Every structure is written in structure tokens, then in C-alpha cells.
């Protein structure tokens, strides 16, 4: 093969870039966690700071997330949890009357999920007419 060396060189670069991307992703998460920790320590849900090119609003929110507890539902139905991943199983159990709206409500759980966001800050009080 005449391009073996080039192929090998490109593959090494490919792997290196992937490794670098993973390391940057990990570091980015660490930095985000540190910002969240600082905001919590200061008792702030929102703060406006200088970003790279503009003002940025950092915020922490706690929206509620609803999810179906498939493990508990599967136990109540007497089926394996992985079976609930199949649409055919849902259709069958619904047709048999084993899955009801009440049952879905019973096994739906709510939890607050921490969400961090950073977006360009727009001063709504600044009228430039």
C-alpha cells in the first residue's frame, strides 16, 4: 500500500485530537462545576459577568423533570425492565389492560434537576430608541 505512512500519520492525529477533545470536555465540566459552586457559596441564582466579547448572564435553575420509573413499573407488572423498552410490549400490556393511565401516574416521579446556563446578557432596561 503506497499511502500506508500517510494513513498511519493521519490516524495518530485523529486519535490525538480525540484525546485532546476528551480532556478539554472534562476540563470544561470541571470549570462549570467550579462556577456553580462559587455561585452557590455566594447565594446567587443569576449573575452578569464580562464574557469574551459581551456581557454574559450565568444562571442556575432547578426545573422539575418527570420520568417514568420503569424498574418499579416492571416489578409491578411482573415483566423484565428491558421488555419495557420494546413498543410491542407496551402495546400488548396496554391492550391487555395491564398498563393504565393511573398506573403511569403512579410510577411517574418528579425531581428537581440542576441546570446551568450562560447566555448573552441583554439589558431590558436600556432603551436605545
Task: Give 43-95 pLDDT, tens digit per residue.
Answer: 999 999 999 899 999 999 999 999 999 999 999 999 999 999 999 999 999 99
Q: For the chain, give every domain's residue range.
A: 1-42, 45-66+109-122, 70-106
Say if residues 6 and 87 touch (Cβ distance below 8 Å): no
pTM for this predicted structure: 0.65
Residue 123 confidence (pLDDT): 81
Nearest to 75 by CA among 103, 115, 40: 103
Which cell goes with 125? Answer: 432596561
> Which residues sit opposite 112 in a β-bridge?
64
Read off the pLDDT of residues 94-103 as tens digits, 9 standing for 90 and up.
999 999 999 9
- Percentage of residues of the chain with pLDDT beyond 90: 88
Parallel/antiparallel/unpaired status of strands 46-50 and 55-61: antiparallel
Cα angle for residues 70, 74, 75 (degrees, 5° grid): 120
3-state secondary structure of 3: coil
Amino acid at each position: 500500500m503506497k499511502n500506508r505512512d500517510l494513513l498511519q500519520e493521519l490516524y495518530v492525529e485523529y486519535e490525538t485530537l480525540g484525546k485532546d477533545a476528551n480532556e478539554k470536555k472534562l476540563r470544561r465540566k470541571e470549570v462549570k462545576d467550579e462556577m456553580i459552586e462559587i455561585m452557590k457559596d455566594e447565594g446567587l441564582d443569576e449573575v452578569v459577568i464580562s464574557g469574551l466579547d459581551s456581557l454574559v448572564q450565568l444562571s442556575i435553575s432547578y426545573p422539575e423533570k418527570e420520568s417514568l420509573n420503569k424498574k418499579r413499573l416492571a416489578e409491578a407488572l411482573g415483566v423484565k425492565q428491558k421488555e419495557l423498552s420494546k413498543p410491542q410490549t407496551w402495546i400488548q400490556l396496554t391492550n391487555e389492560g395491564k398498563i393504565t393511565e393511573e398506573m403511569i401516574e403512579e410510577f411517574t416521579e418528579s425531581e428537581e434537576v440542576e441546570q446551568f446556563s450562560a447566555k448573552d446578557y441583554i439589558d431590558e432596561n436600556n432603551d436605545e430608541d
